[in-house]
Amino acid sequence: MDVFGDLFRGVRAHGSLFGSSLLAPPWALHFVDGAPLTLCTVINGAGWIVPENGSPELLGPYETVVVRGPTTFTFVDELDTPAQPIACGEDCATPEQGGTRYRLGWADADDSRSEAATFITGAYPVGGEINRRLLDALPVVLRVEAGGTGDAVLDHLAAEVAVDAPGQQVVLDRLLDWMLVCTLREWFDRPGGEPPAWWAAQRDAVAGEALRLFHADPAAPWTVSSLATRIGVSRSTLAKRFADLVGEPPLTYLARWRMALAADLLVEQDTATIAHIARKVGYSDPFGFSAAFKRVRGVNPSEFRRSAKIAASVKVG
């Protein structure tokens, strides 16, 4: 598993398609939920994404914007639109509500006015420590122009939203997932961009292989020597190359990655013992694991688990 694939684990659309027809101007849709990640794209026409406390982004055909929560945003036909904002949250499609699709202010399918737009958005209920490492690498709003690998996905989306067939929601969700992956890859690789260190390091023969080994088997008893032997370089070469590209020593990265995995396991497997979680992330001694976890997270595993349960119950309530 590569770093990006691992950090993307669990990021899945689930019933998150909002619209599938043409928006007739004037319109103003206010997305109030502040989802951790929201993908917005236009098949045809154009409109403005206006993030809360941010600069407006004009969204044209086959262009994509991703908004990172808890920022809310509005999609409007013009910045000075006379349309009253329709709050999209409880009354619109969200993953938690089973993905029912609503059509608010849609034009007729045969509407040929150039100012009409087909707008598609997918909200992602991203959670956990692993996914947070992906979110931390993203700005509040990122934009990808047309002409990249995502165009082919949008062709499929355009064809799918034009029909009403069994299993359509599943197909649309997976297409949105595909679109999100393509969008983030395009953004990380953009000319003059500043991607996270691990993104560029993945392509290095030494640091990239070390990262792949860590993510493929984080519980293995890795040392710098064993890692260097596996990769076929000297210890000094590995240590310097990894630190230069990733920004920290190999075993420091591994320790933080193990603690991120452990944090999610403590929440997801809430009946598992601390000793079981410790073994899953490479610690044979639960006391050593607890000490390492506290050094990184500031609290011991049991306290972290209790706090996560309280936070979850408050959110549900």
The CATH number given to whatever domain includes residue 296 is 1.10.10.60
pLDDT tier at 29, thresholds 50, 70, 90: confident
Domain annotation covers residue 195: no
- Residues 245 and 165 reside in one and the same domain: no
**CA 241 to CA 250: how far, in whole Å?**
10
Count of domains forming the chain? 2
pLDDT tier at 86, thresholds 50, 70, 90: confident
pLDDT tier at 6, thresholds 50, 70, 90: confident
Domain annotation covers residue 194: no
The CATH number given to whatever domain includes residue 49 is 2.60.120.10
Helix, strand counts (H, E) of the chain? 12, 10
For residue 192, the 8-state DSSP code is: T
Contact (CB, 8 A) for 173 and 87: no
- Residues 165 and 217 reside in one and the same domain: no
Domain annotation covers residue 193: no
Count the Cβ atoms, other than its own, within 10 Å of residue 272.
15
pLDDT tier at 270, thresholds 50, 70, 90: confident
- Residues 235 and 282 reside in one and the same domain: yes
pTM: 0.82
- Contacts with 172 (C-beta within 8 Å, 6 or more apart), sequence order: 13, 17, 157, 160, 161
User: What is the extent of the structural domain holding 61?
Assistant: 3-188
List the single range of 23-27, 142-146, 266-270 with lowest mean pLDDT.
23-27
pLDDT tier at 69, thresholds 50, 70, 90: confident
Contact (CB, 8 A) for 21 and 110: no
